[in-house]
Every structure is written in structure tokens, then in C-alpha cells.
Structure 1
Amino acid sequence: MEEQAGSSPLFAVFVLSLFSLFLIPYTIYKLCVAAAPDEVVKPWESKKTSAISRFAQKFFTVQNVLLAVGWLVWLALLLYVQTQSGDLVPFDPYEILKVERGATESEVKKAYRKLSLIYHPDKNPDPAAATYFAESITKAYRALTDDVARENYEKYGHPDGPQALNMGVALPEWIFSRDKHAAPVILISLIGICVLLPLIVAACYLLRSNKYMGPNNVATETLEIFLRSKFAVKESQGLARVLDTLVFAYEFIMLPTPSEQAEGLEALRRTILRVHPDLKEKPQFWKRKPSIVKVNMLLLAHLSRSPVPPTLANDMKYVLKKSPQFLEEMINIANLARPPAGYGWLTPTIGCLEMAQCITQAMSITARKSISQGTAKGGADTNVLLQLPHFDYDVVKKLGRKKVRSLAELSAMDAEERLELFVTSGLTKKQAEEAVTSLLSMPTVTFTDVQLQVEGEAEGTQIVETDIVTCAVCVLLSRPSHASPDAQAPKGTSVLAYAPLYPYPKPEKWNFIVGDPLTNTVYARAEAALVEAEALGLAERVAGSAKQPLLLTGSADGGRASEASSDGKKGDAEEAKAVPVTANGSSAAAAGKGADAAGPRPQGQLVEVKFRAPKAGKYDLTLFCMSDSWAGCDRTAAFKLRVAEQTRTEKEGRTGTAKARAEHASGDEAAREEGEVRDEEDDEDEEDDEEGDWDSEDSGTEESGSEDEEEENKKEDNKKDEKEKLPEKS
């Protein structure tokens, strides 16, 4: 037996196999699953790009380039294996001589003479040819013509008889060093790299993954703080108090504060005190953990657009990257079902969304609160201009002196006049161009139709307790940039908000919330990317039928209060099923009844918000449409909801008809006749309901086949009602 040694060809085969296990599945994933990546639209880019540049941007990404390099390496390994693994092929005389198995001796001699003319040393001076002729062709000829050689080949697989066992390991030959000092090091290295390192990586990954949960990879400790600690999300927590919870995220608490940041933190502290002098009178603010104080100051500096020392630049990016994720989790916690009604809180939900707007556009909390207060009073606030990049109070004052106080007035101006106005107000030309781009990118949302529908019920069905109600809204979205002749309809899956002061790409997300501001209740919330709504809005504007304003500054009275009736009367039957609210807030039911009066379905992207109907009563609800990227572009629509009380039959679950029960019985004729009688009684009850004489409280008794049984059941029900009322009287 020969000494064990390494084999570079075998090692190449081993590496090629492992590399293929990773490369081939990843390629299939890229081609099949990720073939249509999330294309992000940038509405502020009006320049048309060529087809070649679009192809380059789409396919020449970092991942695609790395994938192409991986396949080049795979091909190189494959060629190396094919060229270097010749000695690994077992000896086969039939393959060498190119004859079929069972060939006669004359056929073998003929093939040998033919190969001799090619590889014999007298015919071919190449040394490699001579070696191949001597070691392969000659042995193959002898193995098929000589009796002893043939017997050895058939018995041992070689014409020379049994060969020494040559063991090769799928490792390079240089690893098997005969140096006594190098061999132990190589062995330890192999064990560490091939065994211990994968185990350590797997253990670290499992430990790290257990610390996070949810799509945003938020630490479980953070969710625990947001949910149950004294810094948790509160019922009445508005915009001003959102930071008190946000800065206590576990990831922020564990953010290191090295000593080399001391000078930068002190400079940041002086800057924050100049912007927020009231913090001097709050010693508890500065007594918290240094990491929490640092995160709070960084957020305040970003919202006030104050400079940050270079030593804190990376921390600032980390805080801004994680803050939207934490705000999303805070919104989810605020929307959790809470007793007794089983709904979430509206105030912290609105506050977190407003904070997301402030972080995206680097807008102060004071300015955002002023916008909300101005909207609530029915007017516009000039502070909405502060979300434009490079704008401050001085710029807003200079614009006010020139009688420009709203976004609509700016968007209606001529392009050159607007740019000159920004420059004369104190901005540089580059800053003015960014402000103009942001202005033209601001969205306007319009409700073309809002309807309440009962899931799984026919038209005209009343809304009853515990019904699944769907608030279906049709939305159009437009921007001032749509007026440009180069404007193109978005075709991606999301739209990027123009936020030059935010260091990361920020897709626009629109939150549709059904809530009751008076009771601070959130019934349901849904997120949507209004790509289709923007494409339809652009088409409407191009067609010349768009009537919505260029910019919407958050009108609180998004529509007159429409009413969803559920009292079961004929006159309110249509309102119980669906009450559309048009873009100007008027009820479509008032405009006319029937398909001819209402017209075709309004155009717009359909967004559905589903919630469970509350207890019986009348409710004044509001549909909020809020962006997490823009301030002052929110939209609301108010409507009334009437919910009827469940009948006793519905409460006890006896909603099936007697006919259905009778058909599943043994099939005797008496039962069928009884079912027909009950069907007739049901039809009479339905006719009474349509005439308006039906009492919902008296409809819960079991159906019966005779009047005597009905009277007995009514008497029993009256007795039960009297017993239930006795404790109340006492």
C-alpha cells in the first residue's frame, strides 16, 4: 500500500461540488423568485433615460455582477477538473483502443495499427504521444491479445496484475507536508476552519436570530419595553411624547458611547440647548443613560436640521435607519385589541405617523403640531413650508413678506419665477433646486368613493354587531410634477419619497385608518403603496378631467358626514350596505338612486380596511389617510355608522332555516310538509320586514310549525325577560 497523499484534482472536484451546492440554488432563486424585483419609482426624476441605460441599471447590479463572477469561477474549476483528472479515470482497454466490448482479435489488431500510425514514436515525435502510446495503447493491446494479461485484467482490472492501493484525499498536496513542525499546524487549521468555524457561525446566527422578531428585525427586548415597561406606548401619547418611548428601544440603549465621542457629545449638547433652551430646566433628561441621551440629542438635532459632529455621523445614520422600524412596531402595539371593546388607540397611532413624517423630512415637532392645529381650525399653516429642504423660519418670513404663504401658491408659480424667489429668500441655487424638486414631488390624495360594505351579505343588508365591515375607498394621487410633459406613469411596486435630508431611500407608505377621535379608538388600519392611484391620477390629469387641487394641505373636513344606516327600514336599506362618499364629501346616495343615477364605479386604486362592527348604536367615525413621508398631505373623510343589535336567534347561533334542517332529516313526508309551512312563515316575516313592521327584538324565537307552539314560545320568552329585569329593578 502506498502512502496516503493529497490530490489536487480531487480537491478541485470537492470545491466544485460545494460551490455548486450554493451557486445553482441561488441562481434558480434569482431567475424564478427574484426575477421581478421591487422596482422603486422616483417621481422627481423627469429626465427620460435610454433603453441601454435602463437595461444597465436593471441588470448590472452588485448582486448580478457577483453572480456572474461566481459562474466564471465555476467554469474555471470545471475546466481545471477536466484537464487534471485524467489519472483518476480507471484503466479501460476497450475505451483506449476505441473498440466495442467483445471485439475479435483481428479488430483489436486493426485498431492498434491505426493508433500506432498516430502515437508511435516513429510517427509522432511528441514525448507526450510516446508516453501515451507506451503506457496506455500498448498495455491495452496486450490486455486484449495476451492470455495472461487478459486474465489479469479480468481478475484485477489491470494487465499487470494487482496494483498497489493508492489513496488520495480531496485536499491539495501541499497540505500533506512531511515537516514535523508544519504538519500539526496544518491539522489544527483544518479542524478549526472546516469544523469549529462553521459551528461557531451557526451558533452565533441562532443566538442573534433569537433576539429579533418580526419583519423589521426588532429585538424582543424592544417590544417588551414598548409594551409593558413604564416607557411603553400610552393611550393618550401624542406626537410630543413619542420620543419618550422611541429613545428607549433596546438597540438604542445598547448603543456604545466610547470616550473619543466625549468632545462631540459636548458640542452636540450645546447645539441642542440653543435650539431647545427648555432642556436646561429638565435635569432628569441629562441623568439618563449616556446612550439614551445621545440618541435623543441626535434625533432632536435631525429634526431641527442642526449640524452633527463628524464623530457622531455614523451613530446618526444608525438612529435614523432604525427609528422608522421602531415607529412601525409602536403603531402595531397601539393597534392591539384592548378590552373591553377590543380595539386599539388612535392618538398614539396618529402621533407615531406624524413622527415618521418629521424624521423623513427633518421637520421639528413644533412645526408639525402647528400644522395639525391649523388643519383642525379649517385653515392652512405656513409651517407646512418648513418641510421643504433648506427652509427655516427666516425663509418662511421672507416668503410671507412677498405674499406667498402656502404650497399651492408656490406650485402655481412659473418655474423660473419660483426659483428666483427661493434664491432671493436666502437659498443658494442648488438649495433652491432641491426645494423646488421637493415641492413638485409632494402628493395630493383624493377620495373618489368611500363605501361601507358587509362582508358576505347581499345588497341592503343591515350592519349588525360582530359583522365584518369593509370600508372600501377609491383613491387618486397626483403631484405638481404631473403637469410636466415628460411625466411618466409609475410602473414599479413602490414610490420613493423625495427626502434629501434623510440618509436612506424612503418608500412612501400610506396608512388608511378607520377610527373614532372622540373615543380614541382605532377600528382597523391598512397600509398601501399608491402606485396605481398615481398612475390613474396622471392619466386623469393628462385627459384634462382632473379637478383636484395641486396640493392638499390636510383638510380636516374631508367630506360631509355620511350615514351608514342599520335600523332595518326599507328607506335606509341601501345606506346599510354601502354609502359612497365622493371626493368633495357629498353622499352619492343623495345624488340619485340606482345604477343609472350613481353612474359607473369611480376610478381610483381600491383600498379596503376591514373591521368588526362594534356594539349596537350610532357612531361618528373618520377615515384617515396619512403618509409616513409627507406632512400636510393627509386626507380624512367623516361618516356615520349605525349598528343594529343582534337578534336572539343570531346570538344563540340558530341562523339556519327549518327547510335546511328538514332536508337533512330521515326524509319522511311529514317533516318535509312541516318545512314547507315554515318556509311560508319565513316569507311572511320577510315581507313584514320590508314593510317596516318588523321588531328585531321579537325575531329571535325559534321557528315552529303551528300557532300554538309560537304562542307558548312567546310566553316563555316573556317570562325569561321578566326574570332578567327583576335584578335591575331591585
Structure 2
Amino acid sequence: MPFGQEEGYDASSRGKYRSRSDMQYDSSSSLIFMACLLLMYCVPASLQRWWRWRRNRVQEAAAARGRCHCSGCSARHAREHVKASAWRRAFRRPSNWMLALAWLALAVLLVAAARSSSLERERAAHFDPYEVLGVSAYAGKEEISRAYRRRSLELHPDKNLDNPNYRPQDFVRLNQAYRVLTDPVAAENYQRYGNPDGFQGTKYGIALPLWVVERGNVVLLVYGVLMIAVFPALVGIWWRRRLQLVTDHVSRNTYQLFAELLASPSVVKFRNYPELYGAALEFEKRTPFAPELGDGEAVSRLLQVLQPLGRFDYQQQKLFNRGLPHFTMNNVILNAYLARLDFTSLAGAERLQRHLEVLLRHVDLLIPAMVDVAGAVPRVEVAAKHQGVFSRGGYVDRVIRAVQLSQSLCQAMLPTDSELLQLPGFGASEVKVCAANKRWCAGGVRTLADFRQHVWEVDRRAVRGEAREEASASRMRYLLRMMSDAQLADIDQFMRRYPRAVRLEVVQPYVIDNDRSDDQHEYRDTGIHALDTVTLEVRIGIEREESVDPASGSGECRPCCRRLPYEKREAWWLVLGDAKLNAVVHVKRLPLSQAVVRKRARMVRDSVGSVDPPESSKESDDDDDGDDGDDEMEGEEVERAADDVCEEVLEHKFQFYAPPQPGAYKLVVHALPDCYLGLNRHVVLDIDVQERKLPQPETRYFDPSDLSDEEEGAAMPAHESSSDSEAEGVPREPESIAAE
């Protein structure tokens, strides 16, 4: 059949396609179909946002009960509340705008579909065949035929090719009206079902609006391109980006960079870790180096301030040149932050201050990545020289330095600095004053433990009336008389949250004997043989003044990290390694939210015979030389039981394989917080691995099922029928080793 002669195409239609089939284009169904597509996106997205909003509200309420209320943390909380308000988050995210537009489009579609359906129902309800043909109810067949021919010439599609207001439904209604008045079957169907064609329970058609067909194939082409090309391309781009991420926010390239640099033998000192942290590829776009905006000059000014202080020497830094423009800039910014330099005092350092905020916001994301890489670096020399070891990869010291970097970034200080710098408002002068004053401590107040035991706790007990000193004798006010009352209140808030004591308990490693265990008890064998699955239980007990108590609803205790731009959540790292080979066996991060709160009696040390200085000496200023320690009589310390305190307990079980070769081995367990300095604990374990125990097959010369209970007991050997606890499967509790 030649072109132009096939069915569905009319040469007189000026190139426009006119369907001559019985298929109908239903505009109402198309609106409902598009509304259903939008519902598939709007409803799950809205439920997800509602669930996230509800979860955030619960977390914010719990955080409000447990957060620090010092002046620095309160100011940061106020800034975060303004930035993270609900309306600001709603208008800041493009996804929320898309969801709002989708709901608006859905409402428009539903209104249009409802109006279209109502119009169709009205037309079906008011369908009068005489009115459609334009004749009276008493017209005969000839008059009806003449009216039908006259109206068909007016409403035929071929006669209305150029009419923009033409509606094909009018011609369909004309045919239906003529059939009702001329065909008895159609008339009966119309009277019974309201349709000349009979019952219309299911209607088939194309869910496309008619204007799509009238305008040609342009809209269909755009629709096909969007569904076949654009949408799969967007999904592919998103999936490819997700494949580049090892975790939710750290890319695979950053892990590779960390693995390359941490495997280098030059990364042995702490000064290299801020440099390694700033080299993460996540900062390449978040902290771009722009010399045209003055970043180069600002970095040069920071170097001129840092080098005379002796905190950073650019020449001694072993920079890893990888062609990253942000590499050196981030290194200088982090070292300036650790030296506690004020960026606002330098000209042109506003951008560096914003870069520093970005660097600090990634502490909880990049430090775990550094720890994972440092604990899994292949140790070729260990695998070649030492076959019988617990682990062949990772460096314990590099894992510890990575955790120390997290501690330093949270408190803006180096691990070698004094612990007292963690106190709010403390600087070099305050540390010097505390170290020189030897009135209550022979060596001066040099650590936070000394400050708590000899200064802060004495004041707390004096206020409660539990000490021999009068309540007016405030040691902290006397020692830090250069500070204001607000600063002393901030120090009090910090000491409430800083752990008073940290206990690291390690249970002697054991092996679970499944042959001797039952449903109620497991048999723990402390004798370790080669290639056994060893279990090591570790418990961390954290005691502080303001502990978490879920029963009272006090919320999770948040640490005081006033220099961080966000609210930090406390976590503890457990590192298990081989002490001799410096090899990592296991590394685990335990959030404080998983801690179990237990009651424990607190032991307090009282100094018998110590006398506070009189009021006249407290107001004098000539006792800063440290010579006033001879004017008081030091007494011996007596330990007594005080009221019960809540202790947060973190527990974890390490499971690993024993070495294939027997011998004496030494393991070390480290417990390190990620936000405080001076609380690191470790326990050393001596493990004796015996020869591998081969399974012995059980030999039976007869079927024991044929014997009665008495005969089976008589036939059992004496060593098997003994009623000791070991044969009955009662577990033996291994000894525990604690470090406090």
C-alpha cells in the first residue's frame, strides 16, 4: 500500500495524523495516572521527612538535657539553633523545594481530574438524544435522519481540521443519540444502562490527554527522552558517586591516600597527622585554595606568627607533595588552631576561619577512616619474619596517634601540652600559676586529677558540709583569683563532665568449649591452644559527677568541647594489639550512647591535718612564687566511702584466632576517649599458647542405648562420672585484670 493510502492517514488532512480506530484518549485517566506517579514520590518522601523530624526532635530533647551549659558551649548552641531552625533547613535544601512543588502539582492534577470527571458525569446524566439532534420529542424517523445528516456535516472531524475549539466528543454523542432513536437494541440499552452500547463496566483507552495527540509527536518525544535517557542517566550518575564512597561521606580515594601515607615509615610522629588529616580529598572542594582571593597571603601571615612560637616549623614538616593545592593550607590552619591562634586578629583570614570550621566538622568522619586504615595496613615484614603472631597488619602506635589527633582537635591543644589547658579560660599563665602553687600538692597542680582531688572536690565537699574546712574557704577561688565568677562557673561545668575515674577491666582470655557447654551455661576454658577461637571481654567504667541515668531521663552526657563548631558526642576507642610487634589485632569504637549505667560506691580520699590559709593570706598577691607550701602541715590521706555514684559501663567482646605456633605472647588493650586528654588507659596481658589440641574420636564397643540408666552409670569410667563442677558444665569465671 503506497504512502498516504494506509488506514489512519488522510491525504487531505495536510499532514496531520487522525486516528480512525476505536481507541479513545481519556484525559481524566491521564490526570489520574500522573497524580498516582506523583503520589509514589510525595508520600514516601514526606513520611521519611516526618520520621526524620520526629527523630531529631527526640534527639534534640535528649541532647538539651545532657549538653554542657558553660558560656562557650551555650553561645555555640545559640548559633546552631539559629542556623538549624526548621524553616531555614526547609528553604535551604533543594529536595524540600522539589517535594513542595510535587505536592502543589499533585493538588492541581487532582483538582483538574475532579473537574473533568464531574463534567463527564454531568454530560452523561443530562444526555438527551432529542436535544443532541436538535429535534422535538415527537419527531418522526425522517426528521431524525435529516437532523442527523445536517449535524454530522457540522461535527465531522474532516470538516473541522482547522477549528481549534473542535471537540471530537460531540460527534461521538451525535452518533449515540441517533442510535438510541433508530435502533431498538440501543434504545433498550440506553434505558437500562444509560449507554446505547450496553453495560460499560471496564473501559479501555490510552491515558493521554487529547492535546498531546493533537500537537503531534513533540511531546511524546520529550516524554520518551526523559523516561528512557535522562532518568536512567541521573540514576547512573548517583550510583557511580555512591560507588566512590566507602562510608557515607568518605570517598575511596581518601582511603587510598591514607593507606599510602600511613604505610610510609616517615609517619611516626604526631606532627605528621594534622598534615595527613588536611590532605583528605573531601576538602579539595570544601576548602579550595584561591590565591586570587588572598589565601596565599593569609597563609604566609600565619606562618610568620607560628614559626617564632616554636609550634610549627615549615622546614621540618615532611610534606607529602601530591599536587593538592589545599594540602599545605589545611596543614598550616590546623597547626595554628592547635596553637590557639586568634584568626580574627589577622588581616584577610576570614576565609581561613571558614576553612577551619569545615575542617573541624569532619573530625567524626575522617578520624575513624584514619584509624581503620592505620589498623589494617599490611605488615610485610611481620608476615615474613614472625609466622606465629596474633596479627600481621596495622600499627598500634599509629592508631593511638590518630585517636590523639581527635582529642587534640576537640580541645585545641597538643598531646604534649598540659592537661589543664582543657579547662575553660586556661592558658599558659594559668597553667604556670597552678604548677607553682604547692600549698595542697607537693609537686604543684599539674594534672586534672590533681586539680580535682586537691582543689575542686574539696570545694564541692565544703559546700555540702562534708569537709572539715569551712564553706567560705574556696580553694579554686583562691588559686584562680585572676578569673571572674563566670569563668569559675565554666570550670565547674567542665569538671562535672570530665570523668572522675576511668576503670579498664580485662577478663583473662578464654576459649568456649562447646562439648562441655549446655543451654544454660557455657564452659570457659582459660587454657588456650594453637588456632583456638579466643574471646576477650573488656569493660570500661566511666565515673563522673553528671553521669547518664536513663531511669531519670537525664539524657546522654555531652562533652565540653567549646572550640568545636558543632556539638560533639563522646565515644571511646578500644585497641587490642601485640605489644611486642606493635601489630593490631582488633579496633572498636564504642559510642557513649551504648553505655549501661550502674550504681557504684565512690571512694574519697581525705587529707588529715591539712590546713587552709587564713582569709588574710588569700587576699595577698605575694604567694605566687610557690614558697608558701612550707607554711602548712601536710597530713596523710585516708580513704573513705562516700555516696553512690552512677558509672557508665561500656562492654565489648573481642574474638580472634590464637597463633599457629605455641609460645608466650603479650597483648595490650588500650582504652582511649576521642574528646578528652589525660584519660588513656591500657592493660598488658601475658598469654601462654599451648600445643594444638587435636580432637579425640569417641570409641564405643557396644551400643549404650541398650543399657539401662544403672548399667550405663556403672559402665561409665570414674573420671567421667565425677560430680565436680568442671564435669557438670558449670562455667569457670576467668580472673579479671583492671587498670584505673
TM bucket normalised to smaller: 0.5 to 0.7
The answer to whether the 8 Å contact 1:419/1:433 transfers is no
1:85 aligns with 2:103: no
What residue in structure 2 maps to residue 524 of structure 1? 586
Q: Counterpart in 2 of 1:321?
A: 361
| Among candidates 543, 546, 557, match of residue 481 of structure 1 | 546
- Rate the CA distance shift 1:302–1:456 in 2: closer, same or farther, 3 A: same
Residue deviations 1:594-641, cap 9 Å, x none?
xxxxxxxx9955332233233423334332211111111222333332
Partner SS state of residue 362, structure 2: helix
Asked if 1:349 corresponds to 2:399, the answer is yes
For the 8 Å contact 2:67–2:558, the answer to whether it is kept is no
Partner Cα distance (2:122, 2:508) in 1: 78
Tell me how large the CA RMSD over aligned residues is: 5.5
1:119-268 mapped onto 2 (5 Å cutoff): 147=184, 150=187, 153=190, 158-159=195-196, 197-213=230-246, 215-227=247-259, 229=260, 232=263, 234=265, 237-252=268-283, 256-258=288-290, 259-260=292-293, 261-268=295-302
Deviates more, 1:251-260 or 1:496-505: 251-260
- Find 1:632's aligned residue among 678, 681, 706: 678
How far 1:353 moved relative to its partner? 0.9
Residue in 2 that maps onto 1:513: 575
- For residue 500 of structure 1, report the CA deviation from its aligned partner: 1.9
Which region of structure 1 is more displaced relative to structure 2, 296-305 or 415-424?
415-424
Which secondary structure does the structure 1 equivalent of 2:581 belong to? coil
1:369 is paired with a residue whose SS is coil
Indicate the SS of the match to 2:569.
coil
Aligned match for 1:397, one of 432, 455, 458: 432
Letter in 2 for 1:521: A
For residues 168 and 155 of structure 1, the distance between their equivalents in structure 2, rounded to whole angstroms, comes to: 27
From 310, 335, 338, give the equivalent of 1:303.
338
Structure 1 Cα separation of the partners of residues 356 and 191 of structure 2: 77
Letter in structure 2 aligned against 1:16: A
Query: Residues 443 and 72 from structure 1, CA distance in 2 versus in 1: closer, same or farther, beyond 3 angstroms?
Result: farther
The reply on whether 1:657 has 2:680 as its aligned counterpart is no
* Distance in structure 1 (CA, Å) of the matches to 2:649 and 2:311: 48
Q: Which has the higher helix share?
A: 1
Residue 475 of structure 1: CA displacement? 3.5
Give the Cα separation in 1 of the matches to 2:244 and 2:491. 41
Alignment of 1:581-660 (within 5 A): 604-614=649-659, 615-647=661-693, 650=694, 654-659=695-700
For 2:373 and 2:715, locate their aligned partners in 1 and report how far apart those are by CA, in whole Å. 50
Distance in 2 between residues matched to 1:436 and 1:445, nearest whole Å = 17
CA contact (8 A) 2:35 2:110 kept: yes
Distance 1:513 1:335 in 2: 9
Aligned positions, number: 541
Q: For residue 307 of structure 2, what is the aligned residue in structure 1?
A: 273
**Structure 2 residue identity aligned to 1:629:** C
- Counterpart CA distance in 2 for 1:491 and 1:144 is 83
Is contact 1:475-1:605 (8 Å) kept?
Answer: yes
| TM-score relative to the length of structure 2 | 0.59
The answer as to whether partners of 2:375 and 2:395 remain within 8 angstroms in 1 is yes
Q: Deviations over 1:478-522 (max 9, x none)?
A: 223359xx9985676x65332121122322111122334343233
Aligned equivalent of 2:143 = none
- CA gap of 1:244–1:295, structure 2 versus 1, over 3 A, is closer
Q: Note if contact 2:576-2:585 (Cα within 8 Å) is conserved in structure 1.
A: yes
Q: C-alpha displacement at 1:354, in angstroms?
A: 0.8
Paired residue for 2:609?
A: none
Aligned partners of 1:145 and 1:495: how far apart in 2? 87
Q: Indicate how the Cα distance of structure 1 residues 460 and 286 shifts in structure 2: closer, same or farther if over 3 A, else same.
A: closer
> SS in structure 2 opposite 1:610?
strand
Matched, 1:369 2:369: no
CA distance in 1, matches of 2:25, 2:475: 76
Deviation, structure 1 residue 45: 4.8
| Structure-2 separation of matches of 1:498 and 1:657 | 62
Match of 1:24 among 43, 49, 61: 43
Rounded to whole Å, the distance in 1 between the matches of 2:227 and 2:506 is: 62
Q: Is the 8 A contact 2:410 2:564 kept in 1?
A: yes
Mapped to 2, the partners of 1:351 and 1:34 lie a distance apart of: 37
Flag the 1:385–1:193 CA change in 2: closer, same or farther, 3 A: farther
The two structures have a TM-score, normalised by structure 1, of: 0.59
Identity %: 19
Question: Secondary structure of 2:686's partner?
Answer: strand
CA–CA distance in structure 2, aligned partners of residues 680 and 327 of structure 1: 59
Structure 2 CA distance for aligned equivalents of residues 303 and 273 of structure 1:
13
The alignment partner of 1:480 has SS state of coil
The structural deviation recorded for 1:431 is 5.5
Q: Is the 8 A contact 1:93 1:143 kept in 2?
A: no
Q: Provide the residue aligned with 2:421 in structure 1.
A: 386
Structure 2, gaps ≥5 residues long: 1-17, 71-80, 129-171, 344-348, 439-444, 464-471, 514-522, 607-646, 728-740
Does residue 461 of structure 2 align to residue 437 of structure 1? no
Match of 1:467 in 2: 532
Measure, in 2, the Cα distance between the counterparts of 1:349 and 1:617: 26
CA distance in structure 1 between the partners assigned to 2:436 and 2:493 by the alignment: 23
Give distance in 1, aligned partners of 2:68 and 2:551: 10
* Higher RCO, 1 vs 2 (CA within 8 Å, ≥6 residues apart): 2
**Structure 1 unmatched ranges of 5 or more:** 48-55, 97-134, 371-382, 551-601, 691-730
